[in-house]
Amino acid sequence: MTPASQGPVYGSAVTKVEPFGIDHIPDSERHGKPSSQFFVWFAAGLNFPVILLGFSATFFGLSFSAAAVAIVVGAAVGSLLMSVMSRMGVRLGVPQQIQARGPLGFFGNFLPVAYINVFSGVGWAAVTVILGGKAFAALTHLPYWLCAGVLTAVEVVVAVYGYNMINFLQRILTYVLTPLFVLITVVAVVRGGTLFEANPQAAGYVGSTGGSITLGGWFLAFLVAWAPFASDYSRYLPDTPRVIRRTAWYTGLGNFATICWLGILGVVVGGSASSTDTIAALHELAGPFAVPALIAVGLSALAQNFLNVYGGAISVQTLKVPVTRSQAVVVICLLAYAVSLWGAAGTEDKFKVFLNLTAYFIAPFAAVLLVDFYVGGRSDPRRIAELYDRSRVVNWGLVAWAGGVAASVPFWQSSIYTGPFAAAHPGAGDLSMYVAAVTAVVLYLLTYRLKPLWRRDTGGLPEEDAGPSEHSDRPADLSART
């Protein structure tokens, strides 16, 4: 990295392309305020899919009060997770995916990052492009493929500029989207909002407990899906106790506020919505105010996808694909656009399947990172060099993650696979994430003091990660790290 005495290469410049990829951010580049994390996550949470998840309360036959409590609990747990993982970024100054090299090993981290982060980044970007593209197509009467393509092009430009540009635009989008979603809220409640009691005759009724666990789990899963990217947007902040503490509060508040707001709104209006198609439901709820509602959905696609694309690009670099961050952004956007053309039909069902499958794999991943940080000593900045040491090939954290995933399989509830426990006990709700996370923690605690599963002999010297040509947009003379 640049010497501490040298001025910043990137600093707080908004219109300068971010020169760092998966590098450790040096002290000379640390800048910004913890409040930035509120705007990053508040804007990202202002999305119509959160409202649609709330619709599901009537499918499960839950009463309004039971559904609201489930959403608040799920949002609270997920927001706490995001708060803690955002703190890790401030402390260590590296992306969340790079942090995972600690407990899993340099190459042991490849499999979960390939599935969890690249697959998840592309998938979430595609889902959001579909919704935004449909909204702008309905608004402008232009072809869907063209609207989706324009959205994707904007995302490419912003994500290439990177961290500072994303923080700047998330703040602006917060101010623009908040009144639009307030309008959606008022109109939707006035036109179709209703409180309701439990309905045992509902198609998905499995009892109040099981339905609440599953519904709350979906909102938790929505935030769990962000967990592998939480540090990506806090790693430039100054590493001081005050900044770390305030970053956690702002991150948690930004996530909790939007998830609870829009989730409970979905419950309120779900009993009167007759369509499960996203844009049709929006037209029905907004009525004569459909135009500003469609604008809100279209712009919110940008607020969420700036993060999806940026995080996905960092994931590609973590896999040692020989591309710069800017090139990885283009790759992620092209893949997401292709998937969005394929998945434009039946989006809602595919969205819930995707939400489940990512959460089942991400929950144990996040659990291993958390326990490694607080129990395994990863919070010590002096150990950052280990994250770039390729001689640490595979570590026991990979076993903990894989064991957590395997233990959760009997509990899976999905339209593509239902586990034997879930099939035999539907009233228990979807317990998959919780089983996966607890199992991963137990396996980590049993193994983290053991010698690495595979360490390559390099004659006593650490084999550090390759230079900036593989993970950075910086010139080679700025590549040194402390």
What pLDDT is stored for residue 195 in this prediction? 77
Tell me the sheet residues that pair with 464.
Answer: 389
**Each residue's pLDDT tens digit, 394-437:** 999 999 999 999 999 999 998 889 999 999 999 999 999 999 99
What pLDDT is stored for residue 276 in this prediction? 58
**Each residue's pLDDT tens digit, 293-315:** 899 989 999 999 999 999 999 99
**Each residue's pLDDT tens digit, 231-254:** 999 999 999 999 999 999 999 999
**Each residue's pLDDT tens digit, 336-382:** 999 999 877 766 666 777 777 788 999 999 999 999 999 999 999 99
Please say whether the beta carbons of 273 and 61 come within 8 A.
Answer: no
Backbone angles phi, psi at 299, to 5 degrees: -70, -35
- Radius of gyration over alpha carbons of the chain, in Å? 22
Q: Let me know if residue 419 belongs to a domain.
A: no
What predicted TM-score, i.e. pTM, was given to this entire model?
0.91
Q: Let me know if residue 477 belongs to a domain.
A: no
Q: How far apart are CA 423 and CA 482, in angstroms?
A: 53
The encoded tokens of residue 235 equal 């790693």
Give DSSP secondary structure letters for 333-362.
HHHHHHHHHHSSTTHHHHHHHHHHHHHHHH
**Where does the pLDDT of residue 151 fall: very low under 50, low under 70, confident under 90, or very high at 90 and above?**
very high
What pLDDT is stored for residue 282 in this prediction? 72
Q: Let me know if residue 281 belongs to a domain.
A: yes
Average pLDDT, the chain: 88
Q: Let me know if residue 364 belongs to a domain.
A: no
User: Residue 96 is part of a domain; what is its CATH number?
Assistant: 1.10.4160.10
Q: Let me know if residue 447 belongs to a domain.
A: no
Q: Let me know if residue 130 belongs to a domain.
A: yes
Query: Which of 12-16, 137-141, 412-416 shows the lowest per-residue confidence on average (mean pLDDT)?
Result: 412-416
Tell me the sheet residues that pair with 389.
Answer: 464
Q: How far is CA 436 from CA 121, 359, 396, 431, 433, in A?
A: 21, 10, 16, 9, 5
Could you report how far apart the first and last alpha carbons of the chain are, in Å? 7
What pLDDT is stored for residue 333 in this prediction? 95
Per-residue three-class SS string for the chain: CCCCCCCCCCCCCCCCCCCCCCCCCCHHHCCCCCCHHHHHHHHHHCCHHHHHHHHHHHHCCCCHHHHHHHHHHHHHHHHHHHHHHHHHHHHHCCCHHHHCHHHHCCCCCHHHHHHHHHHHHHHHHHHHHHHHHHHHHHHHCCCHHHHHHHHHHHHHHHHHHCHHHHHHHHHHHHHHHHHHHHHHHHHHHHHHCCCCCCCCCCCCCCCHHHHHHHHHHHHHHHHHCCHHHHHHHCCCCCCCHHHHHHHHHHHHHHHHHHHHHHHHHHHHHHCCCCCCCHHHHHHHHHHHHHHHHHHHHHHHHHHHHHHHHHHHHHHHHHCCCCCCHHHHHHHHHHHHHHHHHHCCCCHHHHHHHHHHHHHHHHHHHHHHHHHHHHCCCCCCHHHHHHHHECCEEECCHHHHHHHHHHHHHHHCECCCCECHHHHHCHHHCCCHHHHHHHHHHHHHHHHCCCCCCEECCCCCCCCECCCHHHCCCCCHHHCCCC
Where in the sequence is the domain holding 122, given as residue range(s)? 31-358
Q: Let me know if residue 399 belongs to a domain.
A: no
Q: Let me know if residue 286 belongs to a domain.
A: yes
Number of domains in the chain: 1
**Where does the pLDDT of residue 6 fall: very low under 50, low under 70, confident under 90, or very high at 90 and above?**
low
